[in-house]
Amino acid sequence: MRLLLKSFILLASLTGALVCLFSAGGAQLLCETQGCRIYAGYGVFGISFYSLGAAGFLLIFLLTLLHPRRFTRTLLSLGLLAALALDTLFLGYQTLFWPCTSCLLVALLLGLIVAAGLVYFPLAGKRLFFVVGALWTVLFIFLGIATLKETLLRPWPLFGPADAAIQVYFSPDCPACRQTVGQLLDDPATRAQTVFYPIAKNAQDLQQIARYLEENAQSADADRFLALFTDDLPESAPALDWRHRLRLLANKATLARLGASSVPLVVAPFLPQPDPPAFDLNPFSPPDFSPPLDGCSAFEEKACD
C-alpha cells in the first residue's frame, strides 16, 4: 500500500510538471474556456504561473523520491501546504472572473497529491491541511460546475456565422426582437457579422422555431429568417426533437450566465453602425435607427405585449 501511494505521488507530480511545462510553452492543453487563454499570461516577476507550477511539481517529485531521508517529510509538509494555500487563492480568484479547465487539471493533480501525502508520509500539520483543504474542495467543486456549464452548454446559432462578432439573443414572440433583428439584417455591413441565438420562452416560440427548422432544413436566407417572426402559425405545428430542445436550453443557460433575463440581448465588441446612404447630403447625420421597443422576459412564459 505504501509503495503504491508513493508511486502515485511520483506519477502525479511528474504529470503535473509536464502539464505545466507544456502550458508554459504555449500548448493549450484542455483549453476549453476563456479563462485558459487569459491566465496563460499571468505570472510574477516575469515568470509565468505555469513555470512556477512546473518547478513546484518537480520539487515534490524529488522530495518524494528521496523520502524517508532526513527533512524530506518536513519540507514536503511545508511545500504542499503552501502550494495548496496558493492554489486556493487562485481558485477563489477564478470564481470572481473566469474558470480555467487547464488550471483545474493542475489543481486536481495537486489535490490528489496532498490527499495521498496525508496517508503516505504522513504530512505534518494535518489539522491545518484539513482546514485549507476544505476551502479548496468547495472552490474546486464550484469551479468544476461552472466549467461544465461553460463547456457543455454552448449557445446554438439559428442563423448567421457561428464565429460572428455580434451575437443576438432573441425570441420569435417578441416585437422588440423583431425590430432589432430587422435593423441588423437590413444592412449588409451588420448582417455579415451577426449571429442569432433563439430563446424559446413559451409554446408559441417552440412552434415557430420548429416550423422554421422544418421549412429551412437545407439552407435559409435573411428573408426566410425574418419570416420566423410571423404570428401566423399553422394549426398543426411540427414538434421539436429532444436535441433541439437541449440546444434551446443551452441558449437560455448562456443568457442567464451573461446576467440577462430579457431579450433582445445584443453582445458586440463595438457599436453596430449601418452603412450610410449612397447620396447622404449630411455626412454627419446620425444612423437611422428607430428607438428600440421594450424587451420581453426570456424566462416568463406569458406572451409579449
Domain carrying residue 259: 166-274+289-297
Residue 282 lies in a domain: no
- Tens-binned pLDDT, residue by residue, of the chain (305 aa): 788 999 999 999 999 999 999 988 888 778 888 888 888 889 888 899 999 999 999 999 999 999 988 889 999 999 999 999 999 999 999 999 989 999 999 999 999 999 999 999 989 999 999 999 999 999 999 999 999 988 888 999 999 998 899 999 999 989 999 999 999 999 888 888 999 999 999 888 998 999 889 888 667 788 889 988 876 666 666 788 899 999 999 999 999 988 899 999 999 887 766 555 554 545 444 445 555 567 788 887 777 76
Query: What distances in angstroms separate CA 146 from CA 98, 259, 267, one per listed residue?
Result: 9, 14, 21
Omega of the bond leading into 122 within 30 degrees of 0 (cis): yes
- CA dist 305 and 262 (Å) reads 13
User: Do residues 299 and 259 lie in contact, with contact meaning Cβ atoms separated by under 8 Å?
Assistant: no
Closest CA to 8 of 118, 82, 90, 125: 118
Residues 113 and 209 in one domain: no
The number of distinct structural domains making up the chain is: 2
Residues 94 and 194 in one domain: no
Residues 219 and 90 in one domain: no
Tell me the CATH number at 269. 3.40.30.10
Residue 77 lies in a domain: yes
Q: Is the pTM of this model over 0.85?
A: no
Residues 123 and 41 in one domain: yes
Residues 136 and 33 in one domain: yes
CA atoms within 13 A on the CB side of 178: 13
Domain closes at, from 102, 126, 152 = 152
Residues 127 and 15 in one domain: yes
